[in-house]
Amino acid sequence: MLQFLIKRILYMIPTLLAISIVAFIIIQLPPGDYLTTLVASLASQGEDIDPAALQALKERYGLGQPIYVQYYKWISGIVLRGDFGQSFAWNMPVKDLIWSRLALTFVLSLSSLLFVWIVAFPIGIYSAVKQYSIGDYIATFLGFIGLATPNFLLALILMYIAFKYFNQSVGGLFSPEYQDAPWSWAKVVDMLSHLWIPVIIIGTAGTAGLIRVMRANLLDELRKPYVVTARAKGLPEWKLLFKYPVRVALNPFISTVGWVLPTLVSGAAITSIVLSLPTTGPLLIRALMSQDMYLAGSFILMLSVLTVIGTLVSDLLLAWLDPRIRLE
């Protein structure tokens, strides 16, 4: 196991280096740069920018240098000093900008993940054990509705219903009086009172998908000879169910860890914009639209690191959970 860990960690280094290069090149592919976008935005508003000031900004951010020089300046700062660069649009260090929203993103995404697992796990088991029952048909119908309805559309519907019939806004994670207030117990309680709506909205599609996967996998296991043999020997049904078939059917829950970790950071970007959530998703979209290369590149690099780490954790957990899987 130790040799496997060391080998996988060593593989991660060139993988992440290649990902950082590709990500930086892709960000640079659109014509122009951040200053080009800024000048076009000012021109659309009827404003002009002084050419001398424009040249000064190019020298300040190194935008006139070749792409490999810009990449080396960025990646060396991350590796040697932990400096992710300066955000052009926000005019502040990237690491400060990301960390200021990262905590709320983790709270929201982790809550959504727990909601998905808590709801999908028992419903998926019930649908498989009680196949073709009324409960199974209801769960299947709701699952298809959840898969077919985009999260942002569900957010708009809930916002309309809450405003029209309850005269309450569901946007954001805080009430207006706590928006800029320092953290306190009252602010935490206020956040929790707003948290359940985005958790349900973001978790709907994931819950529906995992219910179908859990049901299908468990149905495959329940029909296998070892289950029939164990039942014929008189093993109690609940013990038979949870000791063997459910354990094997849990593989999809574990294998999704590889994409769960980056999801915790990126969040549901479109839904966050609709609900005005102060998470990292809208920040990433804005960085990509304005060609804020250091901010966008840092986001993509962070998501890539979490994906690689999540894949490693997923492989280890699967090897521990399912004895059929061998590391060799």
Q: What is the 3-state secondary structure (H, E, C) of 113-179?
A: HHHHHHHHHHHHHHHHHCCCCHHHHHHHHHHHHHHHCCHHHHHHHHHHHHHHHHCCCCCCCCCHHHC
A 10 A CB-CB count for 148 gives 10
Cβ–Cβ under 8 Å, residues 200 and 116: no
pLDDT of residue 92: 79
Question: What's the pLDDT at 282?
Answer: 82
Q: Helix axis angle, 94-129 relative to 185-222, nearest 10°?
A: 40
- For the chain, what are the domain ranges? 101-321
pLDDT at 186: 84
Identify how many contiguous H helices and E strands the chain contains and give both numbers: 16, 2
Q: Model's pTM, two decimal places?
A: 0.74
SS (H, E, C) 171-212: CCCCCHHHCCCCCCHHHHHHHHHHHHHHHHHHHHHHHHHHHH
Residue 202, pLDDT score = 79
Taking the CA atoms of residue 312, residue 318, residue 324 and residue 326 in that order, the dihedral angle to the nearest 10 degrees is: 20
Residues of the chain with pLDDT under 50: none
Q: Which fold has domain 101-321?
A: MetI-like fold (1.10.3720)
Nearest to 161 by CA among 149, 169, 152, 172: 169
CA atoms 157, 163, 168, 171: torsion sign: positive
Residue 169, pLDDT score: 66
Measure Cα distances from 327 to 5, 9, 249 in Å: 10, 15, 19
Alpha carbon distance 155, 242 (integer Å): 36
Q: How far is CA 182 from CA 96, 174, 176, 194, in A?
A: 17, 12, 13, 17
Predicted confidence at residue 161, as pLDDT, reads 81
Which pLDDT does position 62 carry in this prediction? 66
pLDDT at 53: 66
